[in-house]
Amino acid sequence: MIIENNAKRLILLFNAAFGKEYNVVLKSDSHEPDYIASLDPAIPNVINFANGYCNSALHEIAHWVIAGEKRRKQHDYGYWYAADGRNPEQQKLFQQLEVYPQAIEKAFCEALNKPFRASVDNLNQPVSSSEIEAFEEKIENKKNQLKLQGFPLRAQQFLDALSS
């Protein structure tokens, strides 16, 4: 698996910033993103991002920074997830749940001067361009709200690390 140079740097940066305090490591060991909670304090929790891609890492980090302590003790934070091929109602729920982490991911991308692309994550079901535009607008609005009201602590810590 080839890992982008920026993704390698993200791994080092994230693990240095959060590894010891939160017993967590960022890795690119998977084709599918995944959070593996460890029940053993001697074994770190693992955030896997897909295929060595920097944007996948940023997305998974965004989920981790908003997950509370209870959720960080559950596989994939205990989130509901319906695989690709969601029906319209499931897709609407997915997008509602994804606005917040994708707003943080967008802020991370901006801190790195990287392009951001909203993910509707439903490749087998068509999503109209107007739906994607509406989703992107919600993400932008949430990001701007967070900039004004403040990011969650770990999100801000990572933004600061990205900016240094």
User: Is residue 132 pLDDT above 50, yes or no?
Assistant: yes
The predicted-structure confidence for 80-102, as pLDDT tens digits, reads as follows 666 666 777 877 787 888 999 99
For the chain, state the CA radius of gyration: 16
Query: What is the reported pLDDT for 125?
Result: 65
Percent of the chain's residues with pLDDT above 90: 63
Percent of the chain's residues with pLDDT above 70: 89
Angle between helices 153-163 and 54-66 (to 10 degrees): 150
Split at pLDDT 50, 70, 90, the class of 122 is low
Domain ranges of the chain: 5-78, 88-163
The predicted-structure confidence for 107-117, as pLDDT tens digits, reads as follows 999 999 999 99
Residue 163: is it exposed, middle or buried by C-beta count within 10 angstroms (0-12/13-18/19+)? exposed
Whether 86 contacts 126, CB under 8 Å: no
Cα–Cα distances in Å, from 56 out to 12, 19, 137, 146, 150? 15, 19, 21, 21, 24
Is 0.85 topped by the overall pTM? yes
Query: What is the reported pLDDT for 44?
Result: 97
